[in-house]
Amino acid sequence: MKKIGISIFILVALTACVPQAKYKDLEKKYYAALQGESKNKQEIEAREADLKALTDQFSSLQAQQEALAQKKVQLDNEYADLQIEYTNKLKDLEDLKNKNSQISETALKEKQKIEGELAQAQGQLNQKIQRINELEGLINQQKESVSLLKKNLQTALKSYEGKGISVEEKDGYIYISMDNKLLFPSASWTVEAQGLKALHELSKVLAKDKNLNIIIQGHTDSDKYVGNGNIKDNWDLSVMRATAITKILQSEGISPEKMTASGRSQYAPIASNSNPTSKALNRRVDIIIAPNLSEINKLLNQL
């Protein structure tokens, strides 16, 4: 901007002492410079937006890496302790070998005991190493599976982009958020035709993996429920909507043993309830997909 300001000053100064044609030529160059700066500013803003997205992604991956690093430090310490124990036992064995000619029957039994302990320690050490390698492989496999599932869901729901559906990955879980305007009429838990189509496309992807754990959460805004019948308040309404979605997913082939329906009423908002636009964001159903961590937990318990 300082350069443009200087250019303006020079342009004004020259208007008093240059011919008309020369002035017009300078004026064209000035406006061309302005347009170039505007274009550069737009490019900078685009790069800053890309940088922020990459920074957020890096922060998430860094947090996962730090958690794994902490676990690795713990396992490395255990490994070091076992290695020290192994070295000490080996030294004891060598000492006994040097005195082999003088050992008695009691000493021979002690030698055999130490050899047994040494073999046991070596076996435990080998098992630890094997489980660490298996754990790292499972964690990498899980991350790849979650990323692939997210990609498949985004592809399946691409036609609903900008229509009230979003797919995100956070902390190893996939969050599918569906606005109530896509699913339900006001104060109702009956899913409309457009919502049924979206759930059908979603189910075709989820039904391919029988090991996924799925939580369906209903959410409302802060407006008091004014319907009739057995539904008395927003708690009831959020649960009924979550249950309605769960039953549809079950009818589409999703295992009911892998699903949990729950209602959060108005108490887990993603926006303020101060205006109609924000309230509309809070009226939603979240479908939270968690990979099966039983094998990873099993290995962790064995370490």
* 76 and 196 together in one domain: no
For residues 67-85, average pLDDT: 78
- pLDDT per residue as tens digits for the range 24-52: 777 777 777 777 766 777 777 787 787 77
137 found inside a domain: no
Residue that finishes a domain, picked among 57, 86, 115: 86
Residue 5 lies in domain: 1-86
303 found inside a domain: no
For residues 63-90, average pLDDT: 78
CATH classification at residue 260: 3.30.1330.60
* 265 and 165 together in one domain: yes
* 184 and 52 together in one domain: no
- pLDDT per residue as tens digits for the range 128-156: 777 776 767 667 777 888 888 899 999 99
Q: How many domains does the chain have?
A: 2
Residue 184 and residue 214 in contact, taking contact as beta carbons nearer than 8 Å: no
Residue that finishes a domain, picked among 86, 113, 138: 86
* 187 and 57 together in one domain: no
Confidence of residue 195 (pLDDT cuts 50, 70, 90): very high
Residue that finishes a domain, picked among 36, 52, 86: 86
Confidence of residue 14 (pLDDT cuts 50, 70, 90): very low
* 51 and 168 together in one domain: no
179 found inside a domain: yes
Query: pLDDT above 70 covers what percent of the chain?
Result: 83
Question: Which pLDDT belongs to residue 85?
Answer: 83
Question: Which pLDDT belongs to residue 203?
Answer: 94
